[in-house]
Amino acid sequence: MEGSSGKSILQFAPFQSSVDEGFWHRLSSLKLNKFGIDDSPIPITGFYAPCSHSQVSNHLTLLAESLPSDSSEESVVPEISRGNRNRCSVPGILYNTNTVERFHGLDKQGLLKAEAQKIWEDIHNGRALEDSSVLSRFLLISFADLKKWSFHYWFAFPALVLDPPATLVDLRPASQCFSLEEAESLSAAFNEWRNSSLTADVPFFLVQIDTNSHSTIKHLKDWETCQSADGHKLLFGFYDPCHLPNNPGWPLRNFLALICSRWDIKSVHFLCYRENRGFADLGLSLVGEALITVPQGWRDHPYVPNAVGWELNKGRKIPRGISLAKSMDPTRLAISAADLNLKLMRWRALPSLNLNSLSSLKCLLLGAGTLGCQVARTLMAWGVRRITLVDNGRVAMSNPLRQSLYTLDDCLNGGEFKATASVNSLKRIFPAVEARGVVMAIPMPGHPVPSQEEQTVLNDCRSLHDLIDSHDVVFLLTDTRESRWLPSLLCANTNKITITAALGFDSFLVMRHGAGPFSSSHDSKAEAANSLSADMSNLGLTDRDGGKRLGCYFCNDVVAPIDSTSNRTLDQQCTVTRPGLAPIASALAVELLVGILHHPHGIFAEGDVLNSSNSESSEQPLGILPHQIRGSLAQFSQMTLVGHSSDSCTACCSTVVSEYRKRGMEFILQAINHPTYLEDLTGLTELMKSASSFELDWDNGTDEDDDDCVDV
């Protein structure tokens, strides 16, 4: 070109960008807390250092401290300190748009030109001699999608274009250009320059080598004084971020523009300063000579040369993008923190903990009162993610104190449905929870329904049936005994893991129901959910107690329990309970579930009692698996009991379950409408006559309309 045969065009390796995560974090925070929709340009600071690796170029880096500080930000990010040899500050400007359309619509040519003009002016007014970093001034455009935590961005490193381009006379490693003495003196001078906090971050300088081989490094503003001495070599040096052996890096471009327009030098000797392990590396550094023809018009000040410098993305002229959802999305952070907590427990204490079985488990909570709230929370703490809450009540003013998912806000305007408020609350606590609320009344025996409401009740029965069918575990946490009857029956029918918690004033009962009466022969669904094989279910049934199933909530009021002092129905007094009771009972209910899930026999596991001689269960990592836990706050005591199923149980005996299977909804309606029907069917009427010492309050249950009744 231009007839300069044999001389090649001097080609510069483009600057490359690197953006630390911290930059985007601070930009997001500033956008949210300070800038709002103000999209005026923001001055920023980039950092670079000489290349320090023979294979890798240094990049212009943006860090959190590249942005102005955000006072509302909690983090303690150190402010920019001058004189850091590895962080030479470079001024830049950020255009952060409010929409992706604005981002794409920015006049990129115009923005680049505007920055180039600033460089051009700094060259002409001499500012570039005082603070040479302005020669590397850069431009960043971005769009921060704060909803998706993704960022679109594009850097430009404006370079004034020499036209015609500079040609290369010679370029070789610096080590080949100096005598031994010169090299030694030069290295020493460089190391001094780089180690002084006054000069370490000054990226452009003059290198003067005297005839006696003595080298000095000087500031650009001292150029005039360098002219007086005779016989020395003068090199224009700069921190070169580029590692390539045959090309200087990008900063030399504007340096050449300065050299030719200010000092009118046609043949420029330059030095690309590069390092290795913190010391000048003359093998990596380059020394070259370039010929410049001062372009037409450069002497007129109003003229601004063309500029180039938009950074390519993998060779293409497109912007870059980064998604930081992993480190910014609070939901994902909460999930990983919750997982970590459970994994720590597994690593440190419970290697057999099956976290997958917990996270995929579907739990149905009947009742979202004191017990329901607390059970839901404890389930989430164990890593259970799928929770359905059933309740037809609304949050009352007295509720938030005892029912841990509610606040006063939920009580206003007549009160939110508990099913809705509890789900919202669970999601606020842990956004990844898959919680569902169902507003529904549970049909109860002994509460006759008028014929016009029959259809509604039947629909409720079917809904409850479907809900139980579609869950793996059912918790009975309602406030009355009779509301537990239908779910107990449905669970016995489908052989679901069922856990009951009930409260008295200062005593509680927590128990798991045994398998249903036909569990071994008919139902395989529940077994599958419990990951038990058919063999295991048989094994469970033919246990050493002669095939006795564990009882359900209703069996135990009929079958004489082992400890007669505990033989009181606990939830009859629908009055008040000591506030500490519900959290204790709820916690035990969930722990009982976790025990069942980790027991090899699952729902069929025998009931262990404390100090049980059964060595097999004491070897279980979670300890014994009781059938019932009865506790009393009056004595601060707790005991484990076993009660087997009763043949005349109104909820789980084979007579009742097979009657339900035969007659379905008709049977349910009859039970609801005719108080004595169930007792007659199961022979309980007979039993009651013979066992007058037990007071059974089947149908003198509490008035369900009484709203002052404490939900438990």
Partner 1 sequence: MDALSWDGTLTSRDFLVSARAFAEKWKEFNSAFPPWTWVPCPPKQPPCHLPQLQQQQQQGYLSLEKTCLPGSSKKGHVASQEDVDEISLTEGEEELEPVDNATLVETNNSPQVCYYDFHIVYSDSYRVPVLYFHCYYIDGHPLGLDEIEKDLPACSAKVLLESKWTFITQEEHPYLNRPWYKLHPCGTSEWMKLLFLGDDSLAKNGVAVEQYLVSWLSVVGQVVGIRIPFEMLNNPKSCN
Does residue 310 bind partner 1 (CB under 8 A)? Answer: yes
Q: Which of residues 315-334 bind partner 1 (CB under 8 A)?
A: 315-328, 333
Q: Which active-site residues does the annotation give? A: 574
Among 27, 30, 51, 62, binds partner 1 (CB under 8 A): 62
Q: Which is nearer to partner 1, 11 or 227 (CB)?
A: 11
**Spatial separation of the C-alpha atoms in residues 693 and 568, rounded to whole Å:** 12
**Spatial separation of the C-alpha atoms in residues 265 and 509, rounded to whole Å:** 96
Dihedrals phi, psi of 339, to nearest 5 degrees: -60, -40
CB 389 within 8 A of CB 436: yes
Amino acid at site 537: S
CB 63 within 8 A of CB 90: no
Min. distance of Cβ 73 from partner 1 in angstroms? Answer: 8
Min. distance of Cβ 432 from partner 1 in angstroms? Answer: 16
Q: How far is CA 326 from CA 170, 330, 334, 343, 452, in A?
A: 49, 9, 11, 19, 55
Among 4, 7, 39, 59, binds partner 1 (CB under 8 A): 59
Among 80, 169, 226, 308, binds partner 1 (CB under 8 A): 308
Min. distance of Cβ 148 from partner 1 in angstroms? Answer: 8
Min. distance of Cβ 342 from partner 1 in angstroms? Answer: 12
Q: Which is nearer to partner 1, 250 or 554 (CB)?
A: 250
> Which region among 22-30, 425-433, 509-517, 636-644 touches partner 1 (by CB under 8 A)?
22-30
**Spatial separation of the C-alpha atoms in residues 193 and 50, rounded to whole Å:** 13
The answer for residues whose C-beta is within 8 angstroms of residue 689's C-beta and 6 or more apart is: none
> Which region among 213-221, 341-349, 386-394, 590-598 touches partner 1 (by CB under 8 A)?
341-349
Does residue 162 bind partner 1 (CB under 8 A)? Answer: yes
**Spatial separation of the C-alpha atoms in residues 513 and 487, rounded to whole Å:** 11
> Which region among 70-78, 228-236, 560-568, 578-586 touches partner 1 (by CB under 8 A)?
70-78
Q: Which of residues 163-192 bind partner 1 (CB under 8 A)?
A: 165-166
Among 34, 102, 108, 219, binds partner 1 (CB under 8 A): 108
Among 33, 54, 75, 542, binds partner 1 (CB under 8 A): 75
**Spatial separation of the C-alpha atoms in residues 278 and 285, rounded to whole Å:** 13
Q: Which is nearer to partner 1, 78 or 450 (CB)?
A: 78
Does residue 7 bind partner 1 (CB under 8 A)? Answer: no
> Which region among 71-79, 516-524, 563-571, 696-704 touches partner 1 (by CB under 8 A)?
71-79
Which spans in 96-179 are helix H?
Answer: 100-105, 108-125, 127-130
**Spatial separation of the C-alpha atoms in residues 499 and 513, rounded to whole Å:** 6
Does residue 55 bind partner 1 (CB under 8 A)? Answer: yes
| Beta strands 138-145 and 150-160, pairing class | antiparallel
Euclidean distance between the first and the last CA atom of the chain, given in angstroms as a whole number: 91
Does residue 56 bind partner 1 (CB under 8 A)? Answer: yes
How buried is 231 (Cβ within 10 angstroms: 0-12 exposed, 13-18 middle, 19+ buried)?
A: exposed
Q: Which of residues 257-286 bind partner 1 (CB under 8 A)?
A: 277-278
Instruction: State the chain's maximal CA–CA distance in angstroms.
Output: 127
Q: Which is nearer to partner 1, 203 or 602 (CB)?
A: 203
The DSSP code for 238 is: E
Q: Which is nearer to partner 1, 47 or 554 (CB)?
A: 47
Min. distance of Cβ 312 from partner 1 in angstroms? Answer: 9
Q: Which of residues 224-253 bind partner 1 (CB under 8 A)?
A: 244, 247, 253
**Spatial separation of the C-alpha atoms in residues 157 and 186, rounded to whole Å:** 30
Min. distance of Cβ 191 from partner 1 in angstroms? Answer: 13
Does residue 39 bind partner 1 (CB under 8 A)? Answer: no
Joined tokens for residue 192: 């001094």
Min. distance of Cβ 310 from partner 1 in angstroms? Answer: 5
Among 20, 131, 506, 704, binds partner 1 (CB under 8 A): 20
Q: Which of residues 347-386 bind partner 1 (CB under 8 A)?
A: 347-348
The answer for residues whose C-beta is within 8 angstroms of residue 204's C-beta and 6 or more apart is: 132, 133, 135, 220, 236, 237, 238, 239, 251, 255
Among 7, 39, 41, 53, binds partner 1 (CB under 8 A): 53
For residue 43, list its beta bridge partners. Answer: 93
Q: Which is nearer to partner 1, 73 or 704 (CB)?
A: 73
Does residue 94 bind partner 1 (CB under 8 A)? Answer: no
Q: Which of residues 115-154 bind partner 1 (CB under 8 A)?
A: 150-152
| Beta strands 507-512 and 628-632, pairing class | antiparallel
Q: Which is nearer to partner 1, 49 or 596 (CB)?
A: 49
Q: Which is nearer to partner 1, 327 or 542 (CB)?
A: 327
For residue 497, the surrounding DSSP H or E stretch is: strand 497-503
Does residue 307 bind partner 1 (CB under 8 A)? Answer: yes
Q: Which is nearer to partner 1, 336 or 463 (CB)?
A: 336
Q: What residue has token string 């550094």?
A: 285
Does residue 161 bind partner 1 (CB under 8 A)? Answer: yes
Task: Characterize 264-302 residue by residue with b for buried, 16 or more Cβ atoms within 10 angstroms of its Cβ, and e for exposed.
Answer: ebeebbbbbbbbbeeebbbebbbbbbbbbeebeebeeee
